[in-house]
Structure 1
């Protein structure tokens, strides 16, 4: 199969979208945003043997390639609308391409996202998605908007992907049932778009958790010039991990493991019922884990109120 046959056969998916003036097939796509809306742009790159294992199933890879980008839109409270996909593949193998593209477009359809362009080249499995979302003008959830006294919340469960990765690396040995649960979380993260939109009217700041909760919360603290107190035993995770791992390891995975793609966000204490209602409406569990303070730094405490020191706050590509 040749490059342009691949594009026509697998990537040329058009649907009715009045905002798309020109889609795939020209030098650039043209979109016209809705009046009184802001556009959000984000881009993520996933590379073989860095972000995924070489033997990953194409359907799992397709899910993660798109889901991690959708998660960025969720953290802004935005509606994901359009994506550009650039890929480097060693060969155009039709069985692999069919599995990858079928799942990519199934997930895109689930969130009503349209592919509007990208690029293809020969290389060792690299994927870059640029995603564009929209939201009402001036309403984005930003890192620089946390306020002293805000509650800190986390969606879903954290630490499962890190546990699965450490099992792969031979650093821990998880029982099969626990590993399967953690591995599913690692391979198929759930973008929290509905939650991001539901909390948009009253949340202050938000961030998706890609590199570790402590590190990503730290981005909010730095941008907002505030501090935080959080409680490690309050972090939502798979309870069975405490049965099979040392507590310090569970702390490491939940606080600094990364690859969770959950949301950490802040909101006024007076909005607790609103947050819980938003969680119910969006079918997304949320957990209150701490408070925004004036300290200017992150304090982490265990169940006895003792401070916890981490060797690392999270993942660093060049660390």
Structure 2
């Protein structure tokens, strides 16, 4: 019905235009039709953009819900494993008696000789460990083996950048490493009670003094270690195209020391401390890159300070982050 009415209105408008301007009436009508078609396409495009934004928000919410459900499942598995371990460790309520036919009377000489032959004296049976082992053997039990913690296994299997404790820091002072010309030592404020000492390989940059007072991005949950005799308590993230071309990764304007750097597609919480045996940083680092626009990202998901923007390289593009 609506389409029929619209067709009638179009025919009436065309007839009116032909009466008013017989020469250009058809061209004016074609212009109106084209304009109406463009307006309709624009409305459809705007509706598609709104739907896409809505889907992105719903997707992020679903990922958060999935993460919560995974944590709850791991906690249930942990409690179930603890109950199973406790039930295995508890002693049996009763012990089956030994059949009388298999017992030799200890008062008879033959019985004493048989007992001596069947159970020769040994040093291991007289020790507490030996007696416990023999008792378990009589009951048909085996020593309980330690079970793996499902929660820790789940945390170890999750390899994504949310496990990295990335924060904004301000370089308070910087100097050359006393034992390595290509290294530098910085005191960095990361929003804690005292600054952290960080040893970095910035190359043979003659203008280190210019970095004093600037903001940077630091990995704060690495294990503290000594580098050439100086204890380093964090890792300064740099982008580099080569060993000689190195720049500090720069947080967005308005950032402050202690601000978290997060990833929209990876909403998990960081580890308290990265364990060297899990090699989390080594596995993630090849996918930490600066794209062709100079934006730092992990597999296309940007380094973000919420409410303030994305982290970038000052001048470099299409390079690695280390």
Same-fold call, TM cutoff 0.5: no
Structure (1/2) with the larger helix percentage: 2
Structure (1/2) with the larger strand percentage: 1
Q: TM-score, normalised to structure 2's length?
A: 0.20
Higher normalized contact order (CA 8 Å, seq sep 6+, divided by chain length): 1
